[in-house]
Structure 1
Amino acid sequence: MRILSIHNNYQIRGGEDESRELEERLLQNMGHEVEVYQENNDRVPAINGLNLALRTVWSREAYNTVKQKLSDKAFNLVHVQNFFPLISPSVYYAAQAQGVPVVQTLRNYRLLCPNGLFFRDGKVCEDCLGKPIPYPGVQHSCYRDSLAASSVTATMITVHRAMQTWQEKVDLYITLSKFAREKFIEGGFPAEKIVVKPNFVAPDPGVGAGLGGYALFVGRLSPEKGLDTLLAAWEQLKNPMPLKIVGDGPLAGEVAKAAEKCPKIELLGRKPMAEVYALMGEAMVLIFPSKWYETFGRVAVEAFAKGTPVIAANIGAIAELVEHGRTGLRFQPGNAADLAAQVEWVLQHQKEWAQMRQEARAEYEAKYTAEKNYLKLMEIYALARTIGR
């Protein structure tokens, strides 16, 4: 197959960027031709505010570029990974004009919620879910704490909802979890067009020994990730195991202060993937304390690949990934005492925890390898091409 992959890169590289690159490499390794059309948010500061707003709703440049690419070569499929904010939904129309089927991966909730998270003021917020115009997101300046930016994002959602873009211009959507699929159906997306395919981890990083005796957090240091819950839990533990925190973000300063106050907490900052995998493999447990509706939970699956069980908040897709008592434990989101209790359980049940290490690795092998993912992706592409005829 010849596939055009479309992606708008973030300024701070994250799981979405990593996942789509892995998918592109997987396709290429399996003999498919993948051409990538991408934009980068590093360009945003140089674009005039009005032009940026117009481009977010409808990018003529992206439309013309994609239409030309599809005209120059015979592509079998267009796979849109992320179009926001510089590419826009105009690329769907370009593909339809050339008769090429479109698949869109939904890696966040941007098409339902201006900030893409369903999270505001430290807690889950569904005020915009199902509304024809997501005005609460504008009222609360939910996107980048900016009234203007939130208004533009809400306008993009509203205009394309009115144009029936989401219903008519995309042949198939991919969500990363059943939970995310249900949210998009609640938001008015056609259920028959949404299929579930999780992310995967490749190459296989190999099983770790799990002998480090520490807990590990890996992720963006931001409010929705539950750092406050994590730090509060370590304050409540009578004799906490060491906690290593990998990542960067707006809460880095608060985490650094907590590390100064508690010698068992260590802030490592951002680390290359090889070092992260090494840390995961030796960790006793990975902590995933998110307070928002994660669409997946890539870090948890990476931990499974290393044979490391996960203590996760019982919310969103991460609750779907972690089976309590088999591949890890779950706790009430935002409840530091409950998280502390789960950590204590681990320390007191080492034999059971050793069995969970085996189960975590088995879960990776059963669901999250490149081989399993490729088969699912081919099924999705075949279905999209059938629908698009």
Structure 2
Amino acid sequence: MKVLVVHNRYRSEQPSGENNVVDQEVALLADAGHEVGVFERRSDDIAAMSLLEKATVPLRVPWNPAVRTELTARLRAERPDVVHIHNTFPLLSPSVLAACADVGVPAVATLHNYTMVCPPGTLYRDGHLCTSCVGTAPVPAVRHGCYRDSRLATVPMAVNLAVNRRRWWSGIARFFCISAAQRDFLVRAGMPVSRMLVKHNFVADPGIGRTGPGEHMLFLGRITAEKGIRLLMAAWERCGLEIPLVIAGTGPMQDEVARWAGSRDDVRYVGLQSKAECRELLARSVAVVAPSTWLEAFGLVVVEAMAAGVPAIAPAHGAFPELVEDGVTGLLHHPNDPASLADCLRRVVDGNDSMGTAARRRYERDFTPSTGLTRLLAGYESAISEGAARALRP
């Protein structure tokens, strides 16, 4: 199969699970013998632009005609069987859909978040779930400055959603949802159920797993409020465990977390870690804690923990209930409840051996690269077949 992957890469200064997923899928397809090309832009490139170019970036978020022209030419030259779209913000834009239509190449898209119904894609505002823009004009997002706490910065994203919502819904042959929870929410929001497939993200076998009970609790991810870091801090102060808590990652709250960790003997903040260091931290964990306060569309760190034979503690909302079988592969706590999270932290110490074994079995069944490849190709073939059927219609 001949595949062209379209992706706007996130800034390299911050870890991006989405970038990692794209890279892993490209490598997976290539290793399986498929011909894979990449059409991409990099948000890092904005820093090197002239002031005039930077000023025009927001204008090109809803539509970038130069990208349409360039991609159309490439599609005509290479004639891929399918185009796989990931992120188009801010330098590509939904004009990539028009390019696919111009050449008659079927397009699929992975929905890594909720940008089809929410300008910043988070369904989260001021520390709470927010659905104000779902099914309506995204005026509330602008009013509240939901992207980067800025009304001005939110305007291009809101315009993009308002202008291109129907274009996405009609121009994509198959949407890959990364969880059933995400699919169900988007279908309720009006997206076409017949085009929505569930394809969980996969994780490569780390080649290293836990061999004992573990040495520490681990939080691994972006240091932000929506990832539940303050909830974890409040819960940790309640639970009184003898093992340490290790926090790895960077983000807007890293200074606050570093100060808190520096004031305690039972917490270590280790900052941004390499992939190898993350694998080592996971393999030495009693459990991984993912206490997100927003509705995660997936939970990559939970599956990474499964691969290492480590249970996870996560909230009973979003995608987590379909990833974590409560009491079997990990524990689910009441969302936004520090007492419930503290109780799970205490409980996992006693039962983490059996849960870790069960977590590894779940990984081997549902989240390996071979399973990911099967589901990916099935989605491609479905989109290609539908495109061929359309072409034959009078």
TM-score by length of 1: 0.96
- CA shift at 1:387, angstroms? 1.5
- Partner residue in 2 for 1:151: 155
Could you tell me how far apart the structure 1 residues matched to 2:306 and 2:35 are? 31
Partner of 2:392: none
Report the alpha carbon displacement of residue 252 of structure 1 after superposing the two structures with TM.
0.3
Counterparts of 1:177 and 1:156 in 2: how far apart (Å)?
24
Q: 1:240 Cα deviation (Å)? A: 4.4
Letter in 2 for 1:108: N
Tell me which amino acid in the other structure corresponds to 2:384.
R
For residues 91 and 212 of structure 2, the distance between their equivalents in structure 1, rounded to whole angstroms, comes to 43
Determine the structure 2 residue equivalent to 1:16: 18
2: CA distance between counterparts of 1:284 and 1:203?
A: 19
Which of 336, 340, 347 is equivalent to 1:345?
A: 347
SS at match of 2:86: strand
Q: d(CA) in 1 for partners of 2:141 and 2:250?
A: 26
1:104 equivalenced with 2:109 (yes/no): yes
Q: How far apart, in 2, do the equivalents of 1:235 and 1:207 lie?
A: 29
* 2:60 pairs with 1:58: no
1:287 is the counterpart of 2:289: yes
After TM superposition, give the deviation of residue 318 of structure 1 in Å: 1.9
For 1:4, the equivalent position in structure 2 comes to 4
Q: Which amino acid aligns with 1:91?
A: V
Instruction: State the distance in 2 between where 1:205 and 1:20 align.
Output: 21
What is residue 138 of structure 1 aligned with on the other side?
142
- Name the counterpart of 1:384: 383
The amino acid that maps onto 1:71 is R
Is the contact made by 2:208 and 2:279 (CA closer than 8 Å) also made in structure 1?
no
Q: Are 2:128 and 1:123 equivalent residues in the alignment? A: yes
Shift of 1:232: 0.6
| Contact 1:210/1:281 (<8 A) preserved | no
Q: Shift in Å at residue 83 of structure 1?
A: 0.7
Aligned-pair CA distance for 1:49: 5.4
1:175 matches 2:183: no
Tell me, yes or no, if structure 1 residue 72 matches structure 2 residue 74. Answer: no
Q: Which residue of 1 aligns with 2:305?
A: 303
Equivalences for residues 28-67 of structure 1 within 5 A: 28-45=30-47, 46=49, 48=53, 51-67=56-72
Counterpart CA distance in 1 for 2:188 and 2:39 is 31
Secondary structure of the structure 2 residue equivalent to 1:244: strand
Query: Structure 2 matches for 1:265-276, cutoff 5 A?
Result: 265-276=267-278
Report percent identity of matched pairs. Answer: 37
Question: What is the rounded CA distance, in whole Å, between the counterparts of 2:184 and 2:207 in structure 1?
Answer: 32
- Counterpart Cα distance in 2 of 1:194 and 1:64: 28
Structure 1 residues 231-246: aligned runs within 5 Å: 231-246=233-248
Q: Distance in 1 between matches of 2:241 and 2:170?
A: 57
Quick one: distance in 2 between partners of 1:387 and 1:134?
32
Structure 2 letter corresponding to 1:64: T
Shift in Å, 1:251: 0.4
Distance 1:371 1:204, change over 3 A: farther
Q: Give CA deviations for 1:6-40 in whole Å, capped at 9, x if unaligned.
A: 00011123100001100000000000111101111
Q: Which runs of 5+ in 2 are unaligned?
A: 389-394
Residues of 1 paired with 2:275 and 2:206: CA distance?
Answer: 13
Residue 110 of structure 2 aligns to which amino acid in structure 1?
Answer: T
- 2-side partners of 1:82 and 1:173: how far apart? 13
Moved more, 72-81 or 204-213: 204-213
1:282 maps to a residue whose letter is R
Checking the alignment, whether the CA contact within 8 Å between 1:130 and 1:186 is kept in structure 2 is no
8 A contact 2:314–2:320 mirrored in 1: yes
Secondary structure of the residue aligned to 2:19 is helix
CA–CA distance in 1 between the matches of 2:291 and 2:271? 18
> SS of the counterpart of 1:105?
strand
Give, as a single letter, the amino acid of the residue that structure 2 aligns with 1:383: S
Q: Which string of whole-angstrom CA distances, capped at 9 and with x for unpartnered residues, describes residues 171-190 of structure 1?
A: 11001000110121122211
| Aligned AA (2:7) | H
What TM-score does the superposition give when structure 2 sets the normalisation length? 0.94
SS in 2 for 1:57: coil
Amino acid at match of 2:163: V
Deviations 1:184-215 (A, max 9, x none): 11222111111000111114434221443210
Return the letter of the residue paired with 2:152. A
Aligned length: 383
**How many Å separate the matches in 1 of 2:186 and 2:212?**
38
> How far apart, CA to CA, are the structure 2 residues paired with 1:233 and 1:201?
29
Q: Which amino acid aligns with 2:97?
A: Y
Contact kept, 8 Å, 2:61 with 2:93, in 1: the verdict is yes
Alignment of 1:307-322 (within 5 A): 307-322=309-324
Q: Deviations over 1:112-171 (max 9, x none)?
A: 11111011111111111111x11110100001111112111110110113xx30222111
Cross-structure match for 2:333: 331
Q: Is the 8 A contact 2:176 2:198 kept in 1?
A: yes
